[in-house]
């Protein structure tokens, strides 16, 4: 079984089947959440909940992911990636499906929390496995294919869930939500190799002693480039939670007076653009470097965000919206590839878990901050805050972070600290 890639083909020599399994696990775990979105308000009414309970269902899911990212990565260095990704995939399939049988809000919230835990195990481990299987020369393309698959599947999931709910009832989307992730989990059990380096091996390196302790997190975060990409991940998820899923739909509804169908169509088209752009951007990142992709696209994103609240008619808004999503699609995979470039063997689980934890924290904070600014001030203040936060992060990243790939690569993975020398024996 070929694990080490070359420069040939769309995956740089890595077997396409392995990319499909890891990408499919991420995509199907994401789809298990998205497919039930259209029926969630009606389902909460059905089990006796209200608007507050509806908000809690998303919050407890996020909390489950937040508290699991780092432990999942740490445990994978001890027991192996395959065990964690398999248990996570099977857990998503089980808890997502059981959610449809819930008869009351507390039971449903417990299942949503467990779904978030299992989803974190699956998504973190899929990214770790992708980092293990790829190299700096093909990582952008591998992650581009994986995330492109996630975007394509995620685009169609809400529409499919709405159709199933209309034809077969409110609970039906839950019953089918775990089928796809179950398929990929079983496929992974049969075909996915264990990629964890053996402790004590030369491949694992000296970092392995830090992989399961708080010192390991501090060791990684002391590296300026790693800290900066984690902050970039925070800002990225802040935009997703605080702007794309809250401010933009509210702005389109209140200012442009567009209905839910038009809003859904806009976001569907944007996801398709991401899916189209993310692979060629990954190939460019492999050839020329991650920062060459992240920084110009990031500056365009900042300008587009600041433009949106001034676009109070359809034409200017569409121009800003599509510019924003083209730039986001172009740069989407590069930060994850950057993390994988820096993550030393023996600590990849910890590194990617930390990156995801920064992101999930922002995903919980972003909507609260953005909607608070909107209610207290205006759309201009809310979008302006997002634009400033993002642009400052990109500029600081450009100044402090070091290139890790492509023609201008200046460094490799984070180096292990020198072991303290033993005092001479008397």
Query: What was the pLDDT predicted at 20?
Result: 85
Flag whether 424 is in a domain.
no
Is residue 403 predicted with pLDDT exceeding 90?
yes
Q: Are 146 and 18 in the same domain? A: yes
Q: For the residues of 102-120, what is the DSSP string, one character each?
A: --SHHHHHHHHHHHHHHHH
Flag whether 45 is in a domain.
yes
Among 202-211, 263-272, 287-296, the minimum mean pLDDT is found in: 202-211
Dist CA 409 CA 397 (whole Å)? 16
Domain of 387, CATH number, reads 1.20.1250.20
- 175 sits in which H/E element: helix 172-177
The band of 117, judged by pLDDT with boundaries at 50, 70 and 90, is: very high
Please compute the mean of the pLDDT values over residues 302-323 and round it to a whole number. 90
Is residue 344 predicted with pLDDT exceeding 70?
yes
Flag whether 322 is in a domain.
yes
3-state secondary structure 325-378: HHHHHHHCCHHHHHHHHHCCCCCHHHHHHHHHHHHHHHHHHHHHHHHHHHHHCC
Q: Are 328 and 295 in the same domain? A: yes
Query: What was the pLDDT predicted at 420?
Result: 47
Mean per-residue pLDDT over the chain, rounded = 83
Highest mean predicted confidence (pLDDT) among 133-147, 185-199, 354-368, 391-405: 391-405
The band of 241, judged by pLDDT with boundaries at 50, 70 and 90, is: confident
CA pseudo-torsion sign 261, 264, 270, 271: negative
Quote the DSSP letter at residue 236.
Answer: H
Q: Are 160 and 210 in the same domain? A: no
Identify which of 146, 175, 97 has the alpha carbon closest to the alpha carbon of residue 278: 146
- Helix intervals (H) in 178-259: 179-191, 214-221, 224-239, 247-254
Angle, alpha carbons 278-77-201 (nearest 5°): 105
Q: Are 144 and 251 in the same domain? A: no
Residue 266 in contact with residue 321, Cβ under 8 Å? Answer: yes
Beta-carbon contacts of 425 under 8 Å, excluding residues fewer than 6 positions away, are none
CA distances from 333 to 93, 134, 297, 338, 381 (A): 26, 14, 12, 9, 29
What would the pLDDT profile of 4-60 be if each residue is shown by its tens digit? 344 455 555 567 788 888 888 988 888 888 888 778 878 888 888 876 777 778 778
Is residue 305 predicted with pLDDT exceeding 60?
yes
Choice between 421 and 264, residue whose per-residue pLDDT is larger: 264
Dist CA 65 CA 113 (whole Å)? 8
Q: Are 218 and 337 in the same domain? A: yes
| CA atoms lying within 13 Å on the CB side of residue 211 | 28
Q: Are 85 and 164 in the same domain? A: yes
Query: What was the pLDDT predicted at 290?
Result: 92
What would the pLDDT profile of 47-104 be if each residue is shown by its tens digit? 888 767 777 787 788 889 989 988 888 888 888 888 899 899 999 999 999 998 999 9
- Report pTM: 0.83
Q: How many helices (H) and strands (E) does the chain have?
A: 17, 0
What would the pLDDT profile of 155-202 be if each residue is shown by its tens digit? 677 777 878 888 888 888 899 888 889 999 999 899 888 888 765 555
Is residue 133 predicted with pLDDT exceeding 70?
yes
- How many domains does the chain fold into? 2
Is residue 412 predicted with pLDDT exceeding 90?
no
Dist CA 349 CA 363 (whole Å)? 21
The two tokens of residue 278 are: 């993310």
Query: What was the pLDDT predicted at 291?
Result: 92
Flag whether 17 is in a domain.
yes
Query: What was the pLDDT predicted at 51?
Result: 67
Query: What was the pLDDT predicted at 233?
Result: 93
Q: Which of 181, 198, 215 is the last residue of a domain?
A: 198
The two tokens of residue 220 are: 């990684």
Q: Are 191 and 135 in the same domain? A: yes
Share of the chain above pLDDT 70, in %: 88
Identify which of 138, 359, 351 has the alpha carbon closest to the alpha carbon of residue 235: 359
CB atoms within 10 A of CB 390: 22
CA distances from 391 to 308, 311, 394, 398 (A): 15, 20, 5, 11
Quote the DSSP letter at residue 12.
Answer: T
Flag whether 403 is in a domain.
yes
For 381, the domain range is 206-407
Q: Are 295 and 376 in the same domain? A: yes
Q: Which of 198, 225, 252 is the last residue of a domain?
A: 198
The band of 227, judged by pLDDT with boundaries at 50, 70 and 90, is: very high
Q: Are 31 and 93 in the same domain? A: yes
Flag whether 3 is in a domain.
no
Q: Are 192 and 218 in the same domain? A: no
Flag whether 326 is in a domain.
yes
Identify which of 69, 68, 38 has the alpha carbon closest to the alpha carbon of residue 54: 38
Among 20-29, 192-201, 230-239, 403-412, the minimum mean pLDDT is found in: 192-201
Dist CA 273 CA 357 (whole Å)? 27
Choice between 409 and 94, residue whose per-residue pLDDT is larger: 94
Please compute the mean of the pLDDT values over residues 319-323 and round it to a whole number. 88
Choice between 261 and 110, residue whose per-residue pLDDT is larger: 110
The band of 386, judged by pLDDT with boundaries at 50, 70 and 90, is: very high
Flag whether 102 is in a domain.
yes
Residue 113 in contact with residue 60, Cβ under 8 Å? Answer: yes
Q: How far is CA 424 from the centre of its chain?
A: 49
Highest mean predicted confidence (pLDDT) among 214-223, 242-251, 262-271, 292-301: 292-301
Please compute the mean of the pLDDT values over residues 260-280 and round it to a whole number. 74
Q: Are 268 and 225 in the same domain? A: yes
Q: Are 46 and 171 in the same domain? A: yes
């Amino acid at each position: 079984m070929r694990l080490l890639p070359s420069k040939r083909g769309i995956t740089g020599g890595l077997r396409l089947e392995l990319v499909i399994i890891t990408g499919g696990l991420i995509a199907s775990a994401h789809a298990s959440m998205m497919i039930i979105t259209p029926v969630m308000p009606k389902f909460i009414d059905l089990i006796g909940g209200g608007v507050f309970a509806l908000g809690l269902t998303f919050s407890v899911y996020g909390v489950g992911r937040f508290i699991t990212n780092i432990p999942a990565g740490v445990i994978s260095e001890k027991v192996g990636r395959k065990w964690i990704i398999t248990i996570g995939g099977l857990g998503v399939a089980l808890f997502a499906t059981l959610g449809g049988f819930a008869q009351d809000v507390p039971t449903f919230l417990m299942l949503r929390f467990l779904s978030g835990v299992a989803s974190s195990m699956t998504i973190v481990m899929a990214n770790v496995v992708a980092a293990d299987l790829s190299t700096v020369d093909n990582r952008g393309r591998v992650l581009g294919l994986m995330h492109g698959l996630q975007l394509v599947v995620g685009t169609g999931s809400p529409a499919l869930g709405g159709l199933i709910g209309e034809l077969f009832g409110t609970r039906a989307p839950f019953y089918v939500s775990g089928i796809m992730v179950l398929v990929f989990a079983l496929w992974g059990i049969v075909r996915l190799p264990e990629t964890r380096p053996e402790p004590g091996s030369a491949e694992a390196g000296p970092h392995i002693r830090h992989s399961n302790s708080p010192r390991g997190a501090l060791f990684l975060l002391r590296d300026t480039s790693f800290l900066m990409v984690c902050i970039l991940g925070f800002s990225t998820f802040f935009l997703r939670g605080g702007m794309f899923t809250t401010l933009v739909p509210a702005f389109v509804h209140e200012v442009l007076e567009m209905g839910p169908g038009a809003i859904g169509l806009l976001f569907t088209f944007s996801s398709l653009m991401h899916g189209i752009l993310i692979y060629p951007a990954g190939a460019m990142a492999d050839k020329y470097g991650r920062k060459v992709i992240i920084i110009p696209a990031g500056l365009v994103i900042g300008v587009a965000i600041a433009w949106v609240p001034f676009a109070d008619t359809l034409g200017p808004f569409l121009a800003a919206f599509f510019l924003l999503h083209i730039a986001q699609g172009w740069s989407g995979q590069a930060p994850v590839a950057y993390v994988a470039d820096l993550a030393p063997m023996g600590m990849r689980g910890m590194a990617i878990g930390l990156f995801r934890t920064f992101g999930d924290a922002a995903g919980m904070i972003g909507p609260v901050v953005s909607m608070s600014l909107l209610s207290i001030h205006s759309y201009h203040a809310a979008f302006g805050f997002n634009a400033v936060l993002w642009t400052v992060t990109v500029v600081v990243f450009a100044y402090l972070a070091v290139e890790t790939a492509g023609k201008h690569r200046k460094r490799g993975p984070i180096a292990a600290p020198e072991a303290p020398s033993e005092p001479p024996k008397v």
